[in-house]
């Protein structure tokens, strides 16, 4: 298991999960080995076949299903849905109009602010957030729980928990500074906007 999947697994606090987009099934193997009931799903039969091969390799009996997202799955049998390694728009499509579990663990490749906003609209609050850096790639993993909390614009942008993570904030500052250096001189609006964000982030880092 890579660092990202271990971080995802660390947020599991229930007894049963649906691993949506399981790929080769490594997360389900790890969680099953730790006493968690798993259903490994993927839209790709090839991926499910690879997962089944790996399950047999480790002598594990893990349920699998070839399906698009949560289609044709009785989610009431599980307490947690995990979706990792997809874009936010794909994740939101998967979750739309479904009977969702009390806990969602999501690691999106993009549009994290949109993800936070849309899932709070669905009646979830942000219970925990993890930031990791692996192979020069940034990952944010969020655990959502059913319930309601009020959030500021900054909470949606940075994360209500990650805004207290100095490493994350400093990495964001450096990232924004690199972007500014590449902005054409004529684009003053974008430059000023990023400078304001950096000032806001700098306050959090102090």
For residues 139 and 176, state if they share a domain. no
Asked if residue 139 and residue 63 are part of one domain, the reply reads yes
Same domain, 109 and 33: yes
- Considering only 28-32, 35-39, 175-179, which range has the smallest mean pLDDT? 175-179
DSSP annotation string for 175-202 = HHHHHHHHS-TT-HHHHHHHHHHHHHHH
How large is the C-alpha radius of gyration of the chain? 19
Q: Where are the alpha helices (DSSP H) in the chain?
A: 3-10, 26-33, 45-57, 88-95, 112-121, 153-158, 166-182, 188-205
| CATH number assigned to the domain comprising residue 98 | 3.40.50.150
Secondary structure letter of residue 39 according to DSSP: E
Q: Is position 158 within any domain?
A: no
Q: What is the pTM of this model?
A: 0.92
Pair (74, 142) in one structural domain: yes
Same structural domain for residues 20 and 120? yes
pLDDT at 157 over 80: yes
| pLDDT (mean) for 46-65 | 95
Overall domain count for the chain: 2
One domain, residues 112 and 187: no
Q: How far is CA 53 from the centre of its chain?
A: 26
The reply to whether 79 falls in a domain is yes
Flag whether 189 is in a domain: yes
Vertex 93 angle, CA 156 and 69, to 5°: 120
pLDDT at 22 exceeding the cut of 80: yes
Q: Calculate mean pLDDT across residues 50-55.
A: 96
Rounded Cα gap, residues 90 and 76, in angstroms: 22
Q: Please check the confidence at residue 137 and state whether its pLDDT lies above 90.
A: no
Task: Judge whether 38 and 31 are in contact, CB under 8 Å.
Answer: yes
Give pLDDT, residue 191. 82
Query: Cβ(106)–Cβ(119) under 8 Å?
Result: yes
Q: Residue 195 has what pLDDT?
A: 86
Structural domain span for residue 102: 3-151
Please check whether residues 96 and 41 belong to one and the same domain. yes
pLDDT tens-digit profile of 71-123? 999 999 999 999 998 999 999 999 998 999 999 999 999 999 999 999 999 99
Query: How long is the chain?
Result: 206
């Amino acid at each position: 298991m890579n660092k990202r999947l271990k971080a995802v697994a660390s947020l599991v606090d229930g007894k049963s999960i649906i691993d949506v987009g399981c790929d080769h099934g490594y997360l389900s193997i790890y969680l099953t080995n730790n006493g968690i009931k798993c259903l490994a799903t993927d839209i790709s039969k090839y991926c499910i076949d690879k997962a089944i091969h790996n399950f047999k390799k480790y002598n594990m009996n893990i349920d699998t299903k070839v399906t698009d997202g949560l289609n044709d799955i009785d989610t009431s049998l599980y307490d947690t849905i995990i979706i990792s390694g997809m874009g936010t728009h794909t994740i939101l499509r998967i979750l739309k109009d479904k009977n969702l579990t009390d806990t969602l663990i999501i690691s999106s490749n993009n549009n994290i602010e949109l993800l936070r906003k849309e899932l709070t609209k669905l009646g979830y609050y942000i219970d925990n957030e993890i930031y990791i850096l692996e192979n020069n790639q940034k990952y944010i993993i969020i655990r959502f729980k059913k319930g309601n909390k009020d959030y500021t614009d900054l909470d949606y942008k940075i994360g209500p928990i990650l805004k207290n993570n100095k490493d994350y904030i400093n990495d964001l500052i450096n990232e924004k500074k690199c972007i500014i250096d590449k902005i054409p001189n004529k684009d003053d609006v974008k430059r000023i906007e990023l400078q304001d964000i950096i000032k806001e982030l700098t306050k959090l880092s102090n």
